[in-house]
Amino acid sequence: MALEIERKYLIHHDKWHNFSKPEGQLYRQGYILKDPNKTIRVRLTDTTAYLTIKGASVGATRTEFEYEIPKEEAVELLDNFAVSELSKVRYKIMYMNKLWEVDVFMGDNDGLIVAEIELLSEEESFELPEWISIEVTGDNRYYNSNLSAHPFKNW
């Protein structure tokens, strides 16, 4: 098990679009199980696939179990077992020695961009890139599991 400690932010879209960034990677992810206490997610990219079990969030912290699985099986799991699904392009950006992951959502979540930073403790300090806007850590609406069922376009 790992403990996932992460903080989540909205983005200044203009600043983000003008920012010089590396190429993003397309993520397709679906949920086999979504309930308030646990989610089971299948994530598929061009190169890898993972099955991930996450517990409930307490503050910015969440238990997480992640297993790499064959890509073909991820496709079958998504096609046959996912109750909801979303797609996004993920950008990985190093800023002041920390990794930021910026998700540009697609489809019914088009127009939503969310940045996350993963931390080693809830107290860890870090600098905010200029394209960071307000914090939304702990706002359930931004959970990917919720976005897959209640997408941004319906808010």
Footprint of a copy of itself on this chain (CB under 8 A)?
1, 32-33, 38, 40, 51, 53, 55, 63, 65, 67, 69, 72-73, 76-77, 80-81
State both tokens at 95: 């800023």
Q: Which is nearer to a copy of itself, 75 or 106 (CB)?
A: 75
Closest distance between a copy of itself and the C-beta of residue 115, in Å? 29
CB distance 43 to 29 below 8 Å: yes
CB distance 48 to 32 below 8 Å: no
Closest distance between a copy of itself and the C-beta of residue 100, in Å? 28
DSSP for 107-147? Answer: GGGTT-EEEEEEESSTT---PPPTTEEEE-TT-GGGSHHHH
Active site residues: 31
Q: Which is nearer to a copy of itself, 32 or 149 (CB)?
A: 32
Closest distance between a copy of itself and the C-beta of residue 143, in Å? 17
Q: Which is nearer to a copy of itself, 53 or 93 (CB)?
A: 53
Closest distance between a copy of itself and the C-beta of residue 121, in Å? 20
Among residues 31, 32, 72, the alpha carbon closest in space to that of 49 is found at: 72
Helix (H) or strand (E) holding 58: none
For residue 29, the one-letter residue type is Q
Q: Which is nearer to a copy of itself, 47 or 80 (CB)?
A: 80
